[in-house]
A and B are shown apart, each in its own frame.
Chain A
């Protein structure tokens, strides 16, 4: 899909965009990123001289919801992304080629852009039985992942599958599905969790990498800070109801109709880092909390194994029990309380039946 040596500038000139418009775009981009006045010329220079970043997109054990999300990107539009901004050299789901031809393209891209391409991985490799649970082109996916990662510049881990493991890694994880940072250790990995990630987060990240030719700043867990530095809760439009103490208690109560906070319904917004409450979904139309349902925490590690989606505390499964922290704590306090009462009773009985000699001197 397009030669890789051409620049973004040459592509948009060919599409009939004037140089004047191009510079307007650069100035606007610089302003919207909060950069200084000189940055516009830096961006223009970069887009005129730097080759478009080749992207190779692999699919492992996944459901393709990341791709489904990505192709709905509105800002920038996905057609602009694919046709002008990036050079998507391989993506078996949306490319025209298939079979032997597709395999040949992959090998060719790997050799041609050695050390320059970005490897986007959707899904993750299963590791048990030598990786035989996910076969891609006749070989275990984990082998393809390793060989493609070898020559890449950086890796984008699309979605919760590639970032954390997601539902295919749920206990007892029969296939041994593992997040890709457990397989690839020697390359920078950008985690873009979410099931799926927001379309604009995906396209925004790709835009950043292609525009600046470098990786964005990452947080402690390897997620781009520009989209994952705040929780859903921090930007939630229902936050004022949280602070006011106005909570929904039943799905059909008065508070639910008034759009109060879903905290007591187990909304996981306070523990979920994602941009849903700021960017929203489907071109900014809505997001789960806006449609009246709590956040499921789909972009957080292990969200699939934490018990109910409607409980803010993790279910604790040790010792053969399935209770949350409060239930366990209350039970423990109850048992200790009863023990204390029983002990006090025994003490009193002992004391009455076995009156100590008060007059005896201490030993």
Chain B
């Protein structure tokens, strides 16, 4: 499957494969890339991560002191509630996203399954690095993610989010108690790190990995829109337009 993907996407302009002649004729070629569940997930997920990152940072560092009686305030409680709720949204979304990868089109599986064992994949990664290092100039005409982006998404996003979900539920299970399903399902994390302080520390590091990913992700998307003249709106409409 991935061999086919790469041959199709890398060696030929995708428009020639996927677009109808009529579309080509008007010089405005859209290719349907991301199906509706993937797009919906992307934005729900992005909102959840934004919420998780903000509340998570506040939980980690603490808020400025609230005045008045403890009974009159519940700020930290609300922040933690928002964090946990967003965590549930992220987790349920992630599980549904795995399901959609199983039933969806080939672009839906890209962030979960990376053909690391294929030589041609690494050759394309190399080519992509050359492109970002200003050593090659030809624009990227691929429909889905390029191999470098795919690798970054898998390593920095998919794996980190999985790690954050697992450690997040394990830490949640500490508060929920040792008889909670969170502890039964994810308590094994504390067999790896018996002192949960370490789990907190790694959970914090995860936030920064995600943040670094978001920086690179947004920059690459905007840059690609300009340099390769591919539309970034494909995550909204599902269609990727090639404007020249």
Q: Which A residues fall within an 8 A CB radius of B? A: 164, 219-221, 225, 229-231, 234, 240-247, 249, 255, 260, 263-264, 268, 270-271, 297, 300-303, 306, 312-314, 316, 324-326, 328-330, 332-333, 336-337, 340, 343-344, 346-347, 350-351, 354, 356, 358, 361-363
Contact = CB atoms under 8 A, between A and B. Distances in A.
B119 to A, nearest CB: 24
Interface in B50-74: 60-63, 65-66, 70-74
B132 interface: yes
A343 B60 contact: no
Interface residues of B, number: 54
Of B79, B134, B195, B215, most buried by chain A (CB within 10 Å of CB) is: B195
A332 B244 contact: no
Nearest to A253: B65
Contacts of B132: 343
Contact of A329 (B174, B196, B208): B208
Contact of A337 (B66, B76, B134, B215): B215
Contact of B223 (A333, A347, A363): A347
B18 to A, nearest CB: 14
Nearest to B187: A220
A100 B74 CA distance: 64
A220 B215 contact: no
A306 B197 contact: yes
Contacts of A242: 76
B207 interface: yes
Contact of B73 (A245, A325, A326, A358): A245
B179 to A, nearest CB: 9
The majority secondary structure among interface residues of chain B is helix
Contact of A247 (B62, B174, B223): B62
Contacts of B70: 240-241, 243-244, 246
21 contacts: A240-B71, A243-B77, A243-B80, A244-B66, A245-B65, A245-B76, A245-B77, A255-B65, A268-B197, A300-B194, A300-B196, A301-B194, A301-B195, A302-B198, A306-B195, A324-B201, A328-B208, A329-B207, A340-B216, A351-B227, A362-B15
Contact of B194 (A221, A225, A244, A312): A221
Interface in B206-243: 207-209, 211-212, 215-216, 219, 223, 226-227, 242
Given A260-B65, A268-B197, A220 B205 contact: no
A244 B244 contact: no
Given A263-B62, A271-B197, A329-B207, A219 B219 contact: no
A271 B177 contact: no
Given A244-B66, A347-B227, 19 more contacts: A229-B178, A244-B77, A246-B70, A300-B195, A303-B197, A314-B200, A324-B201, A325-B201, A325-B204, A326-B61, A326-B208, A329-B207, A343-B219, A344-B223, A347-B134, A351-B227, A361-B244, A362-B15, A362-B244
